[in-house]
Structure 1
Amino acid sequence: MSLLLNDDQKLLIATLKKYCKKNIPIERIRELDVHEEFPEKEMRDLAEMGFLGVPFPTKYGGMEGTMKDLTVIMEELSYHAPVVATAYIMCVVFGGKSILSYGTERQKEKYIPELNKGRIKFALSVTEPNAGSDIANIKTTAKPNGNNEYILNGSKVFSTGAHVADYLLVLAKTESSATKNRGLTMFLVDKKSPGIEVIKLDKLGMKAVWTNEVFFTDVVVPAENILGTLGNGFYHLMSTFGDERIVGAAVTVGYAQKVLDDALLYSKQRQQFDQSISEFQVIQHYLAEMQTKINASRLLTYHAAELRDKGELAIKETSMAKYYSSETLTFVANKGMQIFGGNGYMMEFDVQRAWRDAKFWEIAGGTTEIQKNIIFSQLKMR
């Protein structure tokens, strides 16, 4: 796939690969998973190397990179350290790119340079117990108090990384009588504010990046912390989700490629009936299917990123990349488990972690079913 990359992108990948091989060995990934430890050190390292600033303009301390640049970085990072790539999305895509897309100039100058330096982290708090895919049905409210402030009350669930975040991007209802997708506003909420409680949820995979419930009780948010325009939070959030789906697809591509490579190596080493299992046609077919789906996922993801770089919304292509790539990771993880056999079911082998993590990506950022709904809504006759 190197023909699809320019020289700058190849250099970014080579630099990141060198760092990951030296500083994030597989033992570290296992440790993060077992201890459910957020990759603080790795995020600081990426900041020092300038990688957190890839998608931001140079005037904010960034590298002026494209969506395609961000995509290839996420793929490479996920190949070595999927949980670090997830932490990157949490901070850079949810936080930094949202501020860049619809924040004020003051907000951009205040937050993006600090993010690039690794000094602050962000998390997204949108989903609620009764408002998942139906985001417009949220109940969290933000009411003005007459002092150029809003009072935030409500709760959120499935807020990835809220426990370590310095700021939460919170969607709240600001106009109770507005039509369904109107009257919702995004807020940047300082997590040190009184009245915020974060509770960890126990989940199957992606354990190093916690998922949390967040409760807001009379939390005071300055009006200057409105992110975007009042009442248009739903539409701003769709921009954030578009970015998330592309880079999330890239994460699943990189992760799936690593599972395939590990399974291929194992199949050549594992002996059964006086030959390596790679000599059995069924194993060969598994591996061939895995690589074909990965390549297709990669092409879908790169295409969506390139369209975004041309200024297109690429709604259909973004959802295609997200849905197909996440399902590919699940397929690859399942086949990988089958190739490893009984060993794959043992915690000492890494394929079990990929199998646990894979389902996360079919749900996070909009379920497969939601992506198919979006794709259908965008279909047109030629």
Structure 2
Amino acid sequence: MWFDPTPEQQMLRQMVRDFVDRECPKLKARDLEASEEFPADLAAAIAAAGLNGIGIPEEYGGQGGDIIDQVIVCEELSRSLAGLAWLWGINVWSAAHAVLAHGTPEQRAEYLPRIADGTMRFAFALTEPGGGTDVLRAMRSTATPVEGGYLLRGNKIWSTTAHVADRIMVTVRTSPSDKPSRGLSVFLVRRDSSGLTATPIPKIGMRSLGSCEVSFDDVFVPAEDLLGEVDQGWRQITGSLNSERIMVAAMCTGILRAVLEDALEYAGQRHAFGRPIGQMQSIQHSIADMAMKLDTATLHTHRAAWLEQQGRPCGVEATMAKCLASEYAVEAADQGIQILGGYGYAQEYNMQRYWRDARLYRIGPITNEMARNYIGENLGLPRSF
């Protein structure tokens, strides 16, 4: 089966591509990433173009649409922005998806229109310093009931844009339990709360989207800022895992397309030994490999998105798409650096940026090793963790 886009989806892709080429072409994206400053103007431009509203129902000020539409937007943004596309994804996918699925009518009415118009930014805080993949057993942060709400204590790490967010979606333990997945709750915490500190961590990629360590020192959270049911936080999170993996696959697919475009352009312009290097068989083979990887990643990503949109099981397919697309993007970017030679190592070219950003997605939000464990278990193999 081929997942033919509808005319509306074709128009959406062209609209986003035109926006990207006009507002954030690759050279501008390179400079934004290198600045290590949060790109507030770009965030405003994305919101003004209506892209934050993709997937948010019209009744809440959004543009409507589904996960396939979000995949299209993510692919086209990532084609230039690479990992900086998460600037869009955190709000539209992580925050809006969670509020729409688990928020009260009051929370939906308050947050979704402001996500759609770009006047409210979110961050997500789940992982803890000793956690990584073993996030549940490492969960030490707690929320203790007090009059009118809860007191949060603990530390989170790798919370992207927490230093500039208006709200941080935080998962903490609210009840003790012998089973690590039970007794967790999710809160929408105001970043300006007393006792909350967010500190960016220096890292090799996505440098203008600060990924932060966040400390909660008796942070008071009103009861109305609980998202969903108390002690049911992990069920809420797992309900969105497939969509998250699909969106990461879409981001890596967009990066793959950028790698292929830049490699083709350079191979046509660069001459060596009296001819363009694109005439050399080894270069042609490398670029052909990139094209095959792009098509494979695209098919896996759109298959998983289609299954999700149809309401059909897609855990294995979404995990495969994430795993393959992230590895293909890293491999292609590394080969792209090789094709550019010394220029591939220079920051004035984008190939190194694609590699740095794509490399993260072999690690998060789930490591590709753990992804393979999950796929193996679903093939009938014994659980390995």
Q: CA deviation at 1:78?
A: 0.8
Q: Over residues 324-364 of structure 1, what are the superposed CA-to-partner deviations in whole Å (9 max), with x where a residue is unaligned? A: 10111101111101111111111211111112212111112
Alignment CA distance shift 1:125-1:3 (3 Å): closer
Q: CA deviation at 1:38?
A: 1.9
1:364 is the counterpart of 2:351: no
Contact 2:253-2:329 within 8 A present in 1 as well = yes
Q: CA deviation at 1:242?
A: 2.4
Q: CA deviation at 1:153?
A: 0.1
Q: Tell me the residue number matched to 1:40.
A: 40
1:141 is the counterpart of 2:142: yes
Contact 2:82-2:357 within 8 A present in 1 as well = no
Q: Tell me the residue number matched to 1:349.
A: 349
Q: CA deviation at 1:28?
A: 1.7
Q: Give TM-score scaled by structure 2 length.
A: 0.95
Give the Cα separation in 2 of the matches to 1:31 and 1:290: 25
Give the Cα separation in 1 of the matches to 2:206 and 2:317: 26
1:37 aligned partner, one-letter code: E
Secondary structure of the 2:220 match is strand
1:196 is the counterpart of 2:196: yes
Contact 1:43-1:84 within 8 A present in 2 as well = no
Q: CA deviation at 1:232?
A: 1.4
Contact 1:241-1:365 within 8 A present in 2 as well = no
Alignment gaps of 5+ in structure 2: none
Question: What are the residue-to-residue correspondences of 1:1-382 with 2, within 5 Å?
Answer: 4-137=4-137, 138-145=139-146, 147-379=147-379
Alignment CA distance shift 1:279-1:85 (3 Å): same
Give the Cα separation in 2 of the matches to 1:19 and 1:328: 26
Give the Cα separation in 1 of the matches to 2:35 and 2:109: 36
Q: CA deviation at 1:32?
A: 1.0
1:287 aligned partner, one-letter code: I
2:331 aligned partner, one-letter code: F
Q: Over residues 230-258 of structure 1, what are the superposed CA-to-partner deviations in whole Å (9 max), with x where a residue is unaligned? A: 11111211233322211111011011111
Q: CA deviation at 1:39?
A: 2.2
Alignment gaps of 5+ in structure 1: none
Identity %: 36
Give the Cα separation in 1 of the matches to 2:39 and 2:192: 21
Contact 1:162-1:168 within 8 A present in 2 as well = yes
Give the Cα separation in 1 of the matches to 2:131 and 2:347: 35
Give the Cα separation in 2 of the matches to 1:372 and 1:2: 26
Q: Over residues 50-74 of structure 1, what are the superposed CA-to-partner deviations in whole Å (9 max), with x where a residue is unaligned? A: 2111101111111220111110111
Give the Cα separation in 2 of the matches to 1:238 and 1:349: 38
Give the Cα separation in 2 of the matches to 1:325 and 1:27: 24
Contact 2:83-2:358 within 8 A present in 1 as well = no
Give the Cα separation in 2 of the matches to 1:38 and 1:318: 30
1:296 aligned partner, one-letter code: T
Alignment root-mean-square deviation, CA? 1.6
Give the Cα separation in 2 of the matches to 1:197 and 1:43: 23
Give the Cα separation in 2 of the matches to 1:168 and 1:18: 32
Contact 1:13-1:72 within 8 A present in 2 as well = yes
Give the Cα separation in 2 of the matches to 1:241 and 1:38: 27
